[in-house]
Amino acid sequence: MASKSKILFIGGTGYIGKFIVEASVKTGHPTFVLVRESTLSAPSKSQLLDHFKKLGVNLVIGDVLNHGSLVKAIKQVDVVISTVGQTLLADQVKIIAAVKEAGNVKRFFPSEFGNDVDRVNAVEPAKSAFVTKAKIRRAVEAEGIPYTYVASNFFAGYFLPNLSQPGATAPPRDKVVILGDGNPKAVYNKEDDIGTYTIKAVDDPRTLNKILYIKPPGNIYSFNDLVSLWERKIGKTLERVYVPEEQVLKNIQEVAPPVNVILSIQHSAYVKGDQTNFQIEPSFGVEASQLYPDVKYTTVDEYLSQFV
């Protein structure tokens, strides 16, 4: 058994980053997380950083915007996983430059972890974020850096606790708002499972220069079927309110950030069906639950049970 790759995370204290960091260290990868000086002393991050240290994560001081610190950090590892948030997506060109200069990286995972940005029909403001991610893909390919792009679709923790109902803190018990006709299928994955699948791909030759789609069969639901599943769980029929696409587009233009961003992402998945309206071809992609059938992922059905 070859020794496991050393992994550097950039954005490892963020929403999805922390789950992937944990999966990395728990499966025996020497795990490094780039942190800014300011993050070390940030009260909001102290609990997470303590948790990382207890797990055996190595914290490396550095900054995406400081080329020297980035190159130095990257030279210590084999694989770089970026999970930076929205505001730093475009700045990943700096990570690409540092990876190129360091010259030792076997694989780079840019910050993706959503829809496949090369196969979307999104409107603004989601469109701009997807375009930025696609530009980063092209930059990685242009530099000849070995990569894996993880298209993990929806985070269960974002969209299932309130069944995507705006402003709600629990799933609906009376009426439910459905964008479009509720028939296109979307994919909901528990964050821990996204971490597990991502780390399994790190040293797998089958995922090299490919998109890793996380689409386990138990997590693919049309919105109508999702509501029906919830109704069965609570033993009650909900009033379904359908919002036609025209109205959805109008709403996106009228609401303020970040609601317009969320709504435009939902439009892409729920109305356009962007997570499931194409076939995964071996030339560009592989599917995680097929590659790793041993992973016991949490199904949408199991996930929703906690809210009954």
What pLDDT score was predicted for residue 3?
Answer: 87
What pLDDT score was predicted for residue 114?
Answer: 98
Tens of pLDDT, residues 153-169: 999 999 999 999 989 99
pLDDT at 1 over 70: no
Contact (Cβ atoms closer than 8 angstroms) between residue 229 and residue 83? no
Task: Find the mean pLDDT for residues 195-223.
Answer: 98
Tens of pLDDT, residues 116-147: 999 999 999 999 999 999 999 999 999 999 99
Positive or negative, the CA dihedral 261, 264, 269, 274 is negative
Query: Tokens 């490919």 appear where?
Result: 210
Residues 16 and 114: their CA atoms lie apart, in Å, by 10
Residues 111 and 150: their CA atoms lie apart, in Å, by 8
Residues 185 and 240: their CA atoms lie apart, in Å, by 17
The per-residue pLDDT of the chain, averaged, comes to 97
Counted residue by residue, the chain has a size of 308
What is the reported pTM? 0.97
Tens of pLDDT, residues 47-79: 999 999 999 999 999 999 999 999 999 999 999
Residues 241 and 139: their CA atoms lie apart, in Å, by 43
pLDDT at 247 over 80: yes
The pLDDT-based confidence of 227 (bands split at 50, 70, 90) is very high
pLDDT at 266 over 70: yes
Task: Find the mean pLDDT for residues 290-305.
Answer: 98
Has 190 been annotated as catalytic? no
**The token pair that represents 203 in the structure block:** 């040293």
CB 50: neighbour CB atoms within 10 A?
10
Looking at the chain, the whole-number percentage of residues with pLDDT higher than 90 is 98
What pLDDT score was predicted for residue 49?
Answer: 98
**The token pair that represents 142 in the structure block:** 């242009």
Task: Find the mean pLDDT for residues 240-264.
Answer: 97
Residues 147 and 255: their CA atoms lie apart, in Å, by 37
What pLDDT score was predicted for residue 2?
Answer: 66
Q: Which residues contact 128 (CB under 8 A, 6 or more apart)?
A: none
pLDDT at 270 over 70: yes
Look at strands 79-82 and 107-109 and give their pairing: parallel
Q: Which residues contact 27 (CB under 8 A, 6 or more apart)?
A: 4, 199
Residues 274 and 125: their CA atoms lie apart, in Å, by 16
pLDDT at 94 over 70: yes
The DSSP letter of residue 114 is S
The DSSP letter of residue 219 is G
Contact (Cβ atoms closer than 8 angstroms) between residue 303 and residue 156? yes
Kindly calculate the radius of gyration of the chain based on its CA atoms and give it in whole angstroms. 20
Looking at the chain, the whole-number percentage of residues with pLDDT higher than 70 is 99
Contact (Cβ atoms closer than 8 angstroms) between residue 160 and residue 265? no
**The token pair that represents 49 in the structure block:** 């950083």
Active-site entry in 18, 45, 53, 133: 133
